[in-house]
Amino acid sequence: MTKDGRFIFLDSVSSTNEEAKRLGREGAEGGAVVAARRQTAGRGRLGRTWESPEGALLMSMIVMPDQNHMDKITRISLAAGVAVLHALDSIFEECSIAARPGLGWPNDLLVDTKKIAGILCEAVLDCDAPFVVIGIGININNRVASLPEELRKISTSVADLGNSEYSIRAALEKTALMLDNRIPRVVERSEEWSDTLKVWRERCVLIGREVMISSPGVAPEKAVPTGIDDEGRLIIKTQNGRERAVEFEETTLSR
């Protein structure tokens, strides 16, 4: 383990989110970031496994929201998506990648239909100073060809798009800075929340396209997202023509 200011670097860890939660419970400060070269039990949303090959950015940041605004911590997840989007915008520009990253519901970063990054936000509330861990995995230098077969068609990486490598340290610092700029203010101020919604409305690549909506224990359903409401929920039009807002479901683009 090495430490450089607020950054803690690990060679191998089960999951940077687990490590960040452990450190947060022990009193680590908001803004602390755990990064690892490898994860042996990387986790995705809904209990899925997150493939964590070397060359990917694997990081988790501890966020200590103002305790008077804990009712708004769900905003952090959407704001984290925007922070990672802006980090990728900047990385793509530096790597002369012409494609534009976009947002997928509830918290994916996509290039066309392919996933380049995922985010797993977890709240730790059973302690004196409740906090949130934002876990981020970005495919930077790991090549899609080395991923398991079932992920190859649905994933991409900075190296695959730009055909050159990018510094993981620079990607880490850029992403941390974008998170600092937006979070935790987004829970306190309506301006930051409005801006987060604006970016989602502009850059969500699912709007107007057919998706499958799924949640555990419920049969997947075809729908077309039509927008994002003021609470940050995805509005979908289902096959019977009715519109409703979804909050916790997952979406997959019909290819």
Binding site for ligand BTN (CB under 6 A): 15-17, 39, 42-45, 48, 50, 58-60, 108, 118-120, 135-137
What is the Cα–Cα distance from 42 to 140, expressed in whole angstroms? 16
Three-state helix/strand/coil letters over 212-232? EEEECCEEEEEEEEEEECCCC
Q: Give the CA angle between residues 53, 215, 85 to the nearest 5°.
A: 50
Q: Is-contact 86 136, C-beta < 8 A?
A: no
Pairing of strands 7-13, 33-39: parallel
Minimum CB separation of residue 182 from ligand BTN in Å reads 18
Q: Which is nearer to ligand BTN, 65 or 118 (CB)?
A: 118
Minimum CB separation of residue 188 from ligand BTN in Å reads 25
Burial 30-55 (b: 16+ CB within 10 A, else e): bbbbbbbbebeebbebeeeebbbbeb
Q: Of 133, 121, 136, which Cα lies nearest the Cα of 171?
A: 136
Minimum CB separation of residue 46 from ligand BTN in Å reads 7
What is the Cα–Cα distance from 201 to 232, expressed in whole angstroms? 10
Q: Which is nearer to ligand BTN, 39 or 141 (CB)?
A: 39
Minimum CB separation of residue 136 from ligand BTN in Å reads 6
- Nearest residue to the partner ligand BTN, using Cβ: 118
Minimum CB separation of residue 53 from ligand BTN in Å reads 11
Q: Which is nearer to ligand BTN, 37 or 237 (CB)?
A: 37
DSSP string covering 149-194: HHHHTTB--HHHHHSS---HHHHHHHHHHHHHHHTTHHHH-HHHHH
Minimum CB separation of residue 242 from ligand BTN in Å reads 28
Q: Which is nearer to ligand BTN, 45 or 114 (CB)?
A: 45
Q: Which is nearer to ligand BTN, 60 or 196 (CB)?
A: 60
Q: Which is nearer to ligand BTN, 146 or 163 (CB)?
A: 146
What token pair was written down for 231?
Answer: 């609470």
Residue written as token pair 């302690």: 127
